[in-house]
C-alpha cells in the first residue's frame, strides 16, 4: 500500500481552507501563486479558486465538481473536500510549511 506524503495532506488542508474564503484568502492565494502543487488536481483547484476569488464558499463547492470534470478530472471525489475552517495562524503555518519544503518555482 502506498502512503500519501505528508505535504499532500497539507495541500488538501490549505485548499479546503481557501474554499472557505475569508478576509485573508486573497493574500493566501497570492502567496501560493508560485507554489508547485504536488498533485495536478490540486493545481487545478488552486487555479479555479484564484479565478473565483471572493465568491461565496457554497458557490465554490457547488461549481468545483463540474469545473474539475471539464478540466480532466471526472472521477474526482469531493467527499474529502469538506469545509476546513482554520484560524488565520493555522493556515499561515500550513502555507509556510508548503512554501518551505522546496516545491516552489
**Interatomic CA distance for residues 66 and 74, integer angstroms:** 8
pLDDT computed for residue 52 by the predictor: 85
pLDDT for 105 beyond 60: no
Spell out the domain ranges in the chain.
20-100
**Element at 13 (helix H, strand E):** helix 6-18
- As a whole number, mean pLDDT of residues 84-102 equals 83
pLDDT for 102 beyond 60: no
Radius of gyration of the chain (CA): 13
Q: What pTM, to 2 d.p., does this model score? A: 0.82
**Interatomic CA distance for residues 31 and 2, integer angstroms:** 30
| C-beta atoms surrounding 45 within 10 Å | 27
Q: What is the pLDDT of residues 34-89, one digit of tens each?
A: 999 999 999 999 998 998 887 788 888 888 888 899 999 888 877 666 766 677 78
Amino acid at each position: 500500500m502506498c502512503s500519501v506524503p505528508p505535504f499532500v495532506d497539507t495541500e488538501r488542508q490549505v485548499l479546503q481552507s481557501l474554499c472557505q474564503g475569508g478576509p485573508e484568502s486573497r493574500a493566501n492565494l497570492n502567496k501560493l501563486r508560485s507554489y508547485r502543487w504536488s498533485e495536478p488536481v490540486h493545481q487545478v483547484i488552486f487555479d479555479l479558486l484564484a479565478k473565483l476569488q471572493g465568491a461565496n464558499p457554497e458557490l465554490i463547492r457547488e461549481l468545483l465538481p463540474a469545473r474539475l470534470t471539464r478540466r480532466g478530472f471526472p472521477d474526482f471525489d469531493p467527499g474529502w473536500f469538506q469545509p476546513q475552517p482554520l484560524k488565520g495562524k493555522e493556515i499561515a503555518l500550513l502555507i509556510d510549511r508548503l512554501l518551505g519544503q522546496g516545491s516552489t518555482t
